[in-house]
Amino acid sequence: MTDTAHTPTKNQDFRADPAFEATRALLRAAQRIAVMSGAGMSAESGVPTFRDAQTGLWSNCRPEDLADERAYRQRPGWVWDWYMYRREQLKTVKPNAGHIALAEFQQRHPQRLTLMTQNVDRLHQAAGSTGVLELHGNWVDDRWLDPCPKTPACPVSRAAPGSPPRCPECGHLLRPDIVWFGDSLPAQVLAEAERASLACQVMLVIGTSGVVYPAAGLPIAAQHMGAAVIIINPAPTELDRIARHLLRYPSAQVLPALLDDI
């Protein structure tokens, strides 16, 4: 139940919002803090969300047409080229003040904060965060679409260039190391994220609509264990009902002040 659900007026300064100081007090007292971020965390870095990115050749595509193993097996070159196009886009974006505030907080309190993200842009790492739990993989790495039967340990680096690159021995394809619709999340990453969610006293849920599971289940598990869930998002989310406090502000604006001097 949200104790102080406070829907501020449009241009209210967040410092005057009772939820702001209440959240700072909870953060000061917390031994273990978990953070889960989503696409909104990178919005102020100019990262087009997955759904905004369909332009040019792919402008009339649905995400399912691209981020899906079946689609990839049917049109590997077309889907691979879209990912290459997005990788080029992401080379120019930089972490924003929200990413940097979280990284600096973790540097001050290395044992207190566990950061998990649904994002694949690696902007948390670029800001200096370490041990980031990438629930949905990342844009940078590739892996084999199928294990190579001839040389099971065939390193990805040996793939012959192409669109997409192939194993020179058996012709198997590479694929982006991103969790596609229908894929399972990386088991060890999810287990670690679950442990952190169950052990924390406060969980910051930043820039996510809270509609995609199992990631969206982590704040719910934290709240069931008694943690205070704080939602940082200018818009309502599917997780608002379990929030202790709602900070309806852009994350790059509120995070630096929220974490300052804690």
- For the annotated catalytic residues, the residue numbers are 136
- Comparing every residue's Cβ against ligand APR, the nearest one is 40
Shortest distance in whole angstroms from residue 121 CB to ligand APR:
10
Shortest distance in whole angstroms from residue 120 CB to ligand APR:
7
Contacts with 107 (C-beta within 8 Å, 6 or more apart), sequence order: 128
Shortest distance in whole angstroms from residue 50 CB to ligand APR:
5
Shortest distance in whole angstroms from residue 251 CB to ligand APR:
4
Q: Does 176 bind ligand APR (CB under 6 A)?
A: no
Contacts with 64 (C-beta within 8 Å, 6 or more apart), sequence order: 71, 181
Options 125, 208, 239, 248; binder of ligand APR; rule CB under 6 A: 208
Options 122, 207, 228, 242; binder of ligand APR; rule CB under 6 A: 207
Q: Does 39 bind ligand APR (CB under 6 A)?
A: yes
User: Stretches 37-45, 108-116, 154-162, 223-231: which one binds ligand APR (CB under 6 A)?
Assistant: 37-45
Options 34, 43, 79, 231; binder of ligand APR; rule CB under 6 A: 43
Site for ligand APR in 130-149 (CB under 6 A): 136
Q: How many residues bind ligand APR (CB under 6 A)?
A: 21
What are φ and ψ of residue 121, in 5° steps?
A: -85, -10
Per-residue mark of binding to ligand APR, 82-121 (x: CB under 6 A):
------------------------------------x---
Please state the three-class secondary structure of the chain as a single string.
CCCCCCCCCCCCCHHHCHHHHHHHHHHHHCCCEEEEECHHHHHHHCCCCCCCCCCHHHCCCCHHHHCEHHHHHHCHHHHHHHHHHHHHHHCCCCCCHHHHHHHHHHHHCCCCEEEEECCCCCHHHHHCCCCCEECCEEEEEEEECCCCCCCCCCCHHHCECCCCCECCCCCCEEEEEECCECCCCCHHHHHHHHHHHHHCCEEEEECCCCCCCCCCHHHHHHHHCCCEEEEECCCCCCCHHHCCEEECCCHHHHHHHHHCCC
The pairing of strands 174-178 and 33-37 is: unpaired
User: Stretches 100-108, 149-157, 191-199, 231-239: which one binds ligand APR (CB under 6 A)?
Assistant: 231-239
Q: Does 38 bind ligand APR (CB under 6 A)?
A: yes
Options 209, 217, 220, 257; binder of ligand APR; rule CB under 6 A: 209
Q: Does 219 bind ligand APR (CB under 6 A)?
A: no
Interaction site with ligand APR (CB under 6 A): 38-40, 43-44, 49-50, 118, 136, 207-209, 211-212, 232-235, 237, 250-251
